[in-house]
Structure 1
Amino acid sequence: MAHAMKIAIVDDEQDMRQSISQWLALSGFDTETFASAEDALKGLGADYPGIVVSDIKMPGMDGMQFLKKLMSLDSSLPVIMITGHGDVPMAVEAMRVGAFDFLEKPFNPDRMTQLAKKATQNRRLTLDNRALRRELSDGSVLMKKLIGSSPVMERLKEDILDLGQADGHVLIDGETGTGKTLVAHALHAVGPRAGKKFVLVSCSAYEEDALGRRLFGPVEDGGALPLVEEARGGTLVLEGIEALSSALQARLLTFINDQGTPAETRIVAISNLQQQDKTVEDALRPDLFYRLAAMRITLPPLRQRGEDILMLFTRLSDQFADEYGCDAPAVSAQEAAQLLQAPWPGNVRQLINIAERAVLQNRRGSGTIASLLMADNDETQPTMTTDGKPLKEYVEAFERMLIDNTMRRHKGSIVNVMEELCLPRRTLNEKMAKYNLSRGDYL
């Protein structure tokens, strides 16, 4: 469940502070109060996880001075100003400076709640976007998002680290839902261009003429640069490269050739081609294909990732359970086998949907993972892959999942895990070493 946003209430009148705080707390907000703007500034920073409600007229630093200080710290911080009767011109000035809105005394408490909800929703979106931007620029964070320890995932991570340091252009392909855009971000973030521009465009989202102008100019918006200029020195990601017309392929090849070696701007081409009788090589002119595919990453489908499937399902269901404020579903041995055997045509994207629906089912107290797999495949029996696995692999995958889940639930307490799983200390240590599980990851 998403954590409640904070509301900092700043007013020199104690009764007013307390009444606002009590009302907003009853409405489900986490409030904190300050008797002066000076005190409030000590506890408010650029990423304050909430909003501010402040009186305008206060001794010392008044509300307008306080607002200007807050806007210099974080111009996106929502600040609701409370004004006395006749202070509307001052409130209008506050809005010009950057206030989110204002309330005139005496105000309707319900109106206060409505404004607070609107402001906190705005703040949550801002903070989420900031967190995402940080993640997408942090190579170590992005590599952790590539969850899995299967051989194919270990090779993928090695390829990303190796090719991220190189200068050549890259072609990324693979089935839908395997995470190609995430890998493009990771390639940029782990290499020397990490601090430079990362520009992504979906080639299939534009008509040919519009895409040509967007990529190479002239751009209709006089203040905007064509994307090849905007990405200069960084990475330009062309998603759906197969959608480029012959003419645009020729222009792209000219741009690549004109850069020389090493390339100033790296091109990362993502192919979303899913036709069985046609490959990305068929869709591109040969000279462009070989320039882009000199470095190539083909993402593994989920069905080839073995026990990663259970690891991903567990992590995802835990995240959704936290979001929805309920317990994650327990996975039986039979359900674990069904997850491992499912064909996963939608890959990780499909697994995300299954995990969320499994959590919602569990909250209602009905349904099974098998029923979700059947619904996804529109069949009376869950479809299984034809690639059989030895029983030993299923047993080990399930055992690893059980130990991983139990360690996380008990936050790394070896004693509690031994007791729940009925394992002696030595056996648990051996199994954790075998499955590459470290107690430190759960503390």
Structure 2
Amino acid sequence: MAQAMKIAIVDDEQDMRQSISQWLALSGYDTETFASAEDALKTLGPDYPGIVISDIKMPGMDGMQFLKKLMGTDSSLPVIMITGHGDVPMAVEAMRVGAFDFLEKPFNPDRMSELAKRATGARRLTLDTRALRRELSDGGQIMKKLIGTSPVMDRLREDILDLGQADGHVLIDGETGTGKTLVAHALHAVGSRAGKKFVLVSCAAWEEDALAKRLFGPMQPEDSMLPAVEEARGGTLVLEDVEALSEALQAKLLSFINEQGIPGETRIIGISNLQEAGKTSEDVLRADLFYRLAALRITVPPLRQRGEDILTLFTRLSEQFSEEYGCDAPQVTAQEAAQLLQAPWPGNVRQLINVAERAVLQSRRGSGTIASLLMSDHEDMQPVMTTEGKPLKEYVEAFERMLIDNTMRRHKGSIASVMDELCLPRRTLNEKMAKYGLQRSDYLG
């Protein structure tokens, strides 16, 4: 759900504060008012979840001083200044200092609403970007995104923790849609370079000349960024589709790696997305570069090898999409659970995300089944699934775990409510939760 945006209104005139507040409240904004800049500064911190509308002429700290204070605290905070009629020089100065825009008295309320809409949109984007950056630099948070209790996922997390602490370059490979870029973020976040730059370049997205300049320079005077090898210095440089590098660029990358020595100042993570049957990174990268990158190697497991993680992921994703679309998450039947577990998932987690979103949209319309979505993705899939390849007991247990997990989440850990809905005595529920590693504390709140 998007964060609700606030609007702080700062004006020493009570009537003006109230009229602005009432108008913006009618437009759906959450407003708070302050009679002075000094009072407002007690509330307006660096991550204030909204924008500021302030008069310029106020006793004590005036609007220009207030604006400079705010810009010193958070230069991205949108501040709309209210200026007197014809006071153009002051408005120009406010914009120079960092104001988002200005309103000239007497102002049109619709103009104010329009500015507020633009400013809150910009603020939301800034805060979302900051939150993402914090998340991607927080090893604990990003490791939580690697959902699953299957043996292959336990091993993947162990590999990330081990290799994250090492200094060598890394090659990440695996099928499309398995989450290789997320693994690269995790390697950076759990290692000694966590506070340094993380720079990602998709090698397949650039023409060779442009890619050469993006990676190694020289950049044009009008370019706002450094070459990637300079931008990432001391941190991590991630090369998606590393196999798309030409021979010449592979040679330049190898020279850069060799010049750094061991350990390198900048860690290189290559991500291989080879799709050609029977080919590997070793086949397309020059041998000396391959062995430098693949000294440390992680292969991300395909979704079909992750067992009941598939049901856990589907549940989490459908919950997220149902919240986004304002509807209930679809209830998965035992047959649908078996179908999810047996699907080949050539698109892996990326494909599962698409199926979960479409399942929520279908549920909102009250039509369609998960089976129909799977068959639309896999025309060779039979509508009635079998349990070939796994004992029936495994499918039953996976479904049972998902059902208890979903019910516990829905009732926020209320054992009595779960017992009532599932018609289970307390002892049986406790035994099953212990069997499946479900802890009541995980669902509280």
Higher mean alpha-carbon deviation, 372-381 vs 291-300, is at 372-381
| 1:385–1:225 distance in 2 versus 1, CA, 3 Å | farther
The answer to whether the Cα contact below 8 Å between 2:56 and 2:83 also exists between their aligned partners in 1 is yes
| Alpha-carbon distance between aligned partners in 1 of 2:386 and 2:71, rounded to the nearest angstrom | 57
CA contact (8 A) 1:373 1:382 kept: no
Are residue 41 (structure 1) and residue 41 (structure 2) matched?
yes
**Structure 2 residue identity aligned to 1:329:** P
Residues 171, 293 of structure 1: 8 Å contact kept: yes
Check whether the contact 2:78–2:100 (CA below 8 A) recurs between aligned residues: yes
Structure-2 change in CA distance of 1:9 and 1:383 (3 Å): farther
> Which residue number in structure 1 is paired with residue 205 of structure 2?
205
RMSD across aligned positions (CA): 2.1
Equivalent residue letter for 2:12: D
Alpha-carbon offset, residue 410 of structure 1: 1.8
> How far does the alpha carbon of each residue in 1:328-369 deviate from its partner, in whole angstroms, 9 at most, with x for none?
222222222221122211111111122222222222222222
Paired residues of 1:342 and 1:385 also in contact (CA < 8 A): no
Q: Offset of 1:411 from its aligned partner?
A: 1.8
Q: Is the 8 A contact 2:4 2:49 kept in 1?
A: no
What CA distance in whole angstroms lies between the structure 1 residues aligned with 2:434 and 2:118?
Answer: 49
Per-residue deviation, 1:383:
9.9
Structure 2 distance, partners of 1:159, 1:122, is 39
Structure 1 gap segments, 5+ residues each: none
8 Å contact 2:215–2:227 — kept in the other structure? yes
Matched, 1:101 2:101: yes
Aligned equivalent of 2:328: 327
Q: Deviations over 1:187-211 (max 9, x none)?
A: 1111112122222211112222332
Structure 2 length as normaliser, TM-score?
Answer: 0.93
Range with bigger deviation, 46-55 or 9-18: 9-18
In 1: Cα distance, 2:377 partner to 2:101 partner: 46
Q: Using the alignment, how far apart are the partners of 1:224 and 1:83 within structure 2?
A: 36
Is contact 2:176–2:348 with CA below 8 Å preserved after alignment? yes
Query: Equivalences for 1:256-271 in 2 at 5 Å?
Result: 256-271=257-272
Deviates more, 1:156-165 or 1:33-42: 33-42
Letter aligned with residue 130 of structure 2: R
- Name the residue aligned to 2:427: 426
C-alpha distance in structure 2 between counterparts of 1:279 and 1:387, whole Å: 30
Partner in structure 2 of residue 243 of structure 1: 244
On the 8 A contact 2:338/2:385 being kept in 1, the answer is: no
User: Residue by residue, what CA displacement relative to the aligned partner does 1:130-164 show, whole Å, maximum 9, x if unpaired?
Assistant: 01111111111110011111111111000000111
Partner of residue 364, structure 1: 365
Superposition deviation, residue 387 in structure 1: 6.3
One-letter code aligned to 2:183: V
**What is the CA-CA distance between 1:428 and the residue it aligns to?**
2.1
Amino acid at match of 1:203: C
* C-alpha distance after superposition, 1:362-411 (max 9, x if no partner): 22222222222233335785697996322122112111112221222222
Alignment correspondent of 2:9:
9
Distance 1:83 1:254, change over 3 A: closer
TM-score, structure 1 as length reference: 0.94
- 2:290 matched to which residue of 1? 289
Alignment of 1:172-211 (within 5 A): 172-211=172-211
39-48 vs 409-418, which moves further:
409-418
Is 1:169 paired with 2:155? no
Q: Which residue of 2 aligns with 1:72?
A: 72
Q: 1:430 and 1:218 mapped to 2: Cα distance?
A: 65
**Structure 2, unaligned stretches of length 5 or more?**
none
Cα distance per residue 1:27-61 (max 9 Å; x no partner):
22222222222222111111111111222222222
Q: In the TM superposition, what whole-angstrom CA distance separates every residue of 1:300-319 from its partner, at most 9, and x where no partner exists?
A: 11111111111111111111
Distance 1:251 1:3 in 2: 45
Q: Cα–Cα, structure 1 residues 380 and 414, in superposed 2: closer, same or farther, change >3 Å?
A: closer
In the alignment, the residues of structure 2 paired with residue 383 and residue 248 of structure 1 have an alpha-carbon distance, to the nearest angstrom, of 51
- What percentage of residue pairs aligned between the two structures are identical? 84
- Distance in 2 between residues matched to 1:138 and 1:383, nearest whole Å: 44
Question: Is the contact made by 2:337 and 2:399 (CA closer than 8 Å) also made in structure 1?
Answer: yes
1:218 aligned to 2:218? yes
